[in-house]
Structure 1
Amino acid sequence: MEAQHTALPPKPGEPITGHSLQTFFPGYFALVMATGIVSVGAFLYNMKQVANILLCANVIFYIVLWAVLIFRAIKYPTDVWKDISSSSRGVTFLTIVAANNVLGNQFALMTSYKDVAIFLWEFGIVLWVMITYTFFIVITAKEPKQGVEASLSGAWLLIVVATESVAVLGAIIAGEMVHKDVTIFISFCAFLIGAMHYMVFISLIIYRWLFISMKAELLTPPYWINMGAVAITTLAGSRLLMYSHNHEWISGISYFLPGLTVFFWAFATWWIPILFLLPVWRHIIQKVPVKYDPQYWSLVFPAGMYAVATFNFSKALDLPFILPISNIFIYFSITAWVIVFAGMLREFIRFLHSEKSL
């Protein structure tokens, strides 16, 4: 009788390979998040060919990852449940929500298929409710708990990213909806919920950084979501402001939206020097090797999100002098996407060779 092996969640700082179906990393939907936001950024800067190529690629990535997720759930339900009930790995399922809504952004902004964008927004709300509440309830009820040091990372801010992705896409497609007020109200509530979650979880993360031993191996790429989560909150505020310029309901509350949006953009910008300098300490001084890890898509997404958020922020508040910052980050995010994608292809080719040699 064939022995059954159970995949365990990786230890803190351990690279996530996800080579086999059984151990496949549930946060791989960050590939769709990163590809989608870089595509949107390229579109905003009139790099139409790049934007369209990435849109086509993203549709393929989205379909393939859903197929892998469903097949894995059917073949290895125990391992999927272990991932869901892991405080370090379960939160990465929220990349599904964000990926779905970022793809919706691409369809809403770059194509004439507005119905697809509307469907993805509605589907995204269902996914958000299912995954968010499942995660919170399961982790709350689980005993024994892993503790802050073992489980808390930048990936927990995917709670914010997923919530704000609902707000961003809702604000974009609200004008196409029959019930516009309902759509924008849901988006505004998602914006506030995401902002509240950011305040809570970033406080815990900063506490973890400053007062608990933080080895170089633990400073993994998801900590870029420290910035990415507040960047997407900035984008949500900017999109709501753009909507409020022409719609009466939300214009009544738009008097405090500019201040909130500036607050979030300023905090996103504050993170950038830290996030660039810490990898220098990690890889050059502490000599942690650089090798492909699917978590690197969690670096590409915040970089692209900051570029897109800053672009929209400058337009919504008429601040043209900050636009050059977005110009820099759009090229940085495209470069980062190419490097990480090349690393993914190289890893995939190595995996195929190793399978043939068995």
Structure 2
Amino acid sequence: MQTIQQLPKPGQPQETTLQNFFPGYFALVMATGIVSIGLQLWQYHSLAMVLLVVNVCFYLVLLAILAMRIRKFPRLVWADLHHPARGVTFLTLVAGTNILGSQLVIILNRGLWALCVWIAGFALWLLLLYTFFLFNILKEPKPSFEQSISGAWLLIVVSTESVAVLGALIAHYSHYIAFIALCTYMIGGMLYFVLIGLILYRWLFISMKAELLTPPYWINMGAVAITALAGSRLVMYGHSHPVLAHWTYFVETFTMFFWAFASWWVPLLFLLFFYRHFIVKVPLQYDPQYWSMVFPLGMYGVCTFNYARITGFDFIIPVSGLFVLVGVLTWIIVLIGLLIEIAQRISRRKT
């Protein structure tokens, strides 16, 4: 999958920035939100609050940019929605919205605010997911398999499970929300089975150069980690609410399966990252897709913490702390890269 640039080259008009703006930039909100939640779980409330405020700012700015792009370049946005590689990245808006809602519950205990966010996130999920599938089913001629499939397709799973995670957090408001959370948990799990099979086929049987091992492939792990988190949250809810009580054992069993699979991915992804950048020496430079690497690292830390709580496997809790720390450090590094990129853009504009 080729890198999608979000900044203009020297000499290009400023409008090019908006024209080529990366549709998946809401991964920044996803990454910031999950890192903030991880810090809150480990009792770093002040830092978690700071990141919550920062994340609200990120979300509003990105919404404004998206609205301007839709207004000024509706055909480009429409073309992006049709594109098999770029279209799926719009689902970062769904996941970012629901993760922001999860922050409101976990950090601020604002359930009603989160309920409004969940309704918006669920509506966006329905709109964008069915739009993406409809366009790509009817699209002719079809693009080649290797040009279309990438780790970004697992945003289908991430967005679906984000509905389940936030739904489980606010399910006490209505048993309908609990039902939708359970259904989206199951749907996300089914979609993961299908999509990860296609991605592994791509990796194992079609030429895969190091340059193609882009950061969205970390969602291989992030998608199954958020599925484990959704299961953990549903089990927590089911222990105290009869509407899901009889599903609790089933969900807990599958959650162990998902957590174990997420854990299996971790060494492989680190080895591939090392191979890509330190053996083949693909340059390490800022790309908005690196937020898709930060999110899975933080998500694995958060899902491990919650999984340990429902199972009593306390010996894995230090793993959660380690990955929350790694997620925070990676978030800082990628943010510095973003700030440098913005500074360079301003400098080019002045010259």
- TM-score tier after normalising by the smaller chain length: over 0.9
Query: For residues 109 and 221 of structure 2, what CA distance do their matches in structure 1 show?
Result: 32
Picking from 59, 80, 84, the partner of 2:77 is 80
Aligned match of 1:17: 6
Q: Paired residue for 1:140, among 124, 137, 141?
A: 137
RMSD: 0.9
How many residue pairs end up in the alignment?
A: 343
CA contact (8 A) 1:13 1:219 kept: no
**TM-score where L is the length of structure 1:** 0.94
Shift of 1:26: 0.5
C-alpha distance in structure 2 between counterparts of 1:166 and 1:282, whole Å: 33
277-286 or 51-60, which deviates more: 277-286
Displacement of 1:132 after TM fit? 0.1
Number of the residue aligned with 1:228: 222
Farther-moved stretch of structure 1 (227-236 vs 318-327): 318-327
Cα distance in 2 for residues equivalent to 1:129 and 1:270? 31
What is the identity percentage for the equivalent residue pairs of Structure 1 and Structure 2?
54
Q: Could you say which residue in structure 1 is the equivalent of 2:25?
A: 28
Mapped partners of 2:251, 2:112: distance in 1: 28
One-letter amino acid matched to 1:49: S
| Aligned-partner SS, 1:57 | helix
- Partners of 2:279 and 2:313 in 1: CA distance: 39
Find the partner of 1:102 among 99, 116, 120.
99
Aligned partner of 2:14 in structure 1 is none
Structure 1's consecutive aligned runs of 4 or more residues displaced over 6 angstroms after TM superposition are: none
The reply on whether 1:129 has 2:126 as its aligned counterpart is yes
Distance between the aligned counterparts of 1:14 and 1:24, measured in 2? Answer: 12
Moved more, 334-343 or 313-322: 313-322
Unaligned stretches of 5+ residues in structure 1: 1-11
User: Does the 8 Å contact 1:91/1:135 carry over to 2?
Assistant: yes
Per-residue CA deviation, residues 318-340 of structure 1 (Å, 9 max, x unaligned), is: 11011111011010000000000
Instruction: State how 1:106-255 maps to structure 2 within 5 Å.
Output: 106-175=103-172, 177=173, 179=174, 181-255=175-249
Deviation of 1:115 after TM superposition, in Å, equals: 1.6
TM-aligned CA distance change 1:27 to 1:15, over 3 Å: closer
Q: Residue type of the partner of 1:67?
A: A
CA distance in 1, matches of 2:335, 2:51: 12
Preserved contact between residue 14 and residue 217 of structure 1 (Cα < 8 Å)? no
Partner AA of 1:331 in structure 2? L
Which stretch of structure 1 is more off in the superposition, 108-117 or 243-252?
108-117
Write the distance in 1 (CA, Å) between the matches of 2:60 and 2:201.
Answer: 38
| SS state at 2:257 partner | helix
Change (3 A) 1:266 1:112: closer
Structure 2 unaligned residues grouped into runs of 5+: 9-16
TM-score by length of 2: 0.96
Q: Which amino acid aligns with 1:169?
A: L
Identify which of 254, 276, 281 aligns with 1:282: 276
Shift of residue 15, structure 1, vs aligned partner: 5.2
